[in-house]
Chain A
Amino acid sequence: NSKVIQTPRYLVKGQGQKAKMRCIPEKGHPVVFWYQQNKNNEFKFLINFQNQEVLQQIDMTEKRFSAECPSNSPCSLEIQSSEAGDSALYLCASSLLGGLEQYFGPGTRLTVL
């Protein structure tokens, strides 16, 4: 069973508000991923880190989304100005270095009113 912790489980924000969610990867996993799952079950990769360094990210992430994985602190994903279309389940996953298997947390369900 995955030991990835995500908080909060549910997040409700108004349009234009900041939305921040956190992830604690499995112990010993230096690689962290963020995905967005919309109501149609479509997944969108957002960003991944190796330790504190960004490995890959998509354009959307560069503009309104910010993410970090500071040393000895939870990783975080923040939407600077929430839009209705950001309403989704945000999933964090972690893996070993060079690992193929990703372990997922329970997700943070964001609702933007």
Chain B
Amino acid sequence: TQTVSQSDAHVTVFEGDSVELRCNYSYGGSIYLSWYIQHHGHGLQFLLKYYSGNPVVQGVNGFEAEFSKSDSSFHLRKASVHWSDSAVYFCAVSASNNRIFFGDGTQLVVKP
């Protein structure tokens, strides 16, 4: 059984702050980890992915994530957030041509 857990339902920070959105997974086999962003009323936009190699991966708009096999984690980070980063962020796990398992999402609010 594959599961994805995002421990924080809501995170509030101020513009210019750093932020880390947490994600832990449980999956038996080779996996593909990714993060998506969803602005209110819109579909999912891909942020970044990890499959193998360097455990720190860079994504769009200054986001990065670090894979840890020992912790079964794939946390998303950004050094300095902007108000436009306010959205819901979903961590996801999948295998080749297989369905994606999404976490419950973390609502990020960036205050001016």
> Would you list 10 pairs from A and B whose C-beta atoms are within 8 A, ordered by A residue?
A1-B45, A42-B104, A56-B98, A89-B43, A98-B96, A100-B49, A101-B32, A104-B46, A106-B42, A107-B42
User: How far is it, in angstroms, between the C-alpha of A41 and the C-alpha of B36 when the chains are bound?
Assistant: 13
Interface hit among A11-19, A43-51, A62-70: A43-51
Set of chain A residues within 8 Å of B36, measured between Cβ atoms: 104
Chain B positions within 8 Å of A, measured between CB atoms, are 32, 34, 36, 42-46, 49, 51, 88, 90, 94-100, 102, 104-105
Contact count A vs B, C-beta below 8 Å:
59
The answer for the CA separation of A104 and B36 in the assembled complex, in Å, is 10
Q: Give the shortest distance, in Å, between A108 (CB) and chain B (any CB).
A: 10
Instruction: Let me know if A48 and B99 touch, CB within 8 A.
Output: yes
Q: Cβ of A76 < 8 Å from any Cβ of B?
A: no
CB-based contact A91/B44 at 8 Å = yes
- Distance, CA A107 to CA B44, complexed state (A): 9
Check B43 against A33 for contact (C-beta < 8 Å). no
- Chain A residue numbers with a CB within 8 Å of B104 are 41-42
| Complex contact B97–A55 (CB within 8 A) | yes
| Complex alpha-carbon distance, A100 and B50, angstroms | 10
Mark out the residues of chain A between 23 and 42 whose CB falls within 8 Å of any chain B CB in the assembled complex.
31, 33, 35, 41-42
